[in-house]
Structures are given as structure tokens and as C-alpha cells.
Amino acid sequence: MLVLRVTMVEGRTDEQRAALMRRLSECAARHFDKSLEEVRLVIYEIPKTHWGVGGRSLAEREGTSHGTER
């Protein structure tokens, strides 16, 4: 059994998440010579306020939180 863990910022549609699950699962199954049924995938979505880059949250960097772009 393979377990794939994807961590990304929130904001994708259900359709985008489904396509990501399908494509990554197919790729992993093919690469490791496993059946698709042996692949598990979990998506962890992180709010922009909880994802930091350069000491500031993405929300701050984009000006969508209390702070604004500096």
C-alpha cells in the first residue's frame, strides 16, 4: 500500500482536488508498479493565515488579512 500526503494552501475547487487525487494516484501506481487500489491519498489544506513565507503569512503578503503588503 502507498500513502501519498499532499499539503497545500486552501483555495482549490472540489474538481481541482479530485483531478489532483486522480492524477497523483495514477502516477504513483504506475511508478511503483502497484494497482490503483493500493494507493491512498490525503490532502491537507492549510489556511493562508497559517502558511508562512519570509516570516509573514500568505494572507498578510497578499493583503487579505489584518496586515497589508509591504
Q: What are phi and psi of 43, to 5 degrees?
A: -105, 125
> Is residue 68 domain-resident?
no
pLDDT at 69 over 50: no
| Cell 474538481, located at residue | 15
> Is residue 69 domain-resident?
no
Which CATH number belongs to the domain containing residue 44 in this structure? 3.30.429.10
Question: Which sign does the torsion angle of CA 45, 3, 30, 15 carry?
Answer: negative
* pTM score, whole prediction: 0.80
- Tens digits of residue pLDDT in 2-28: 999 999 999 999 999 999 999 999 999
> Is residue 22 domain-resident?
yes
Instruction: List Cβ neighbours of 49 (8 Å cut-off, separation of 6 or more).
Output: 57, 58, 59, 65
**Count of domains for the chain:** 1
Confidence of residue 70 (pLDDT cuts 50, 70, 90): very low
Output the pLDDT for position 68: 43
Confidence of residue 52 (pLDDT cuts 50, 70, 90): very high
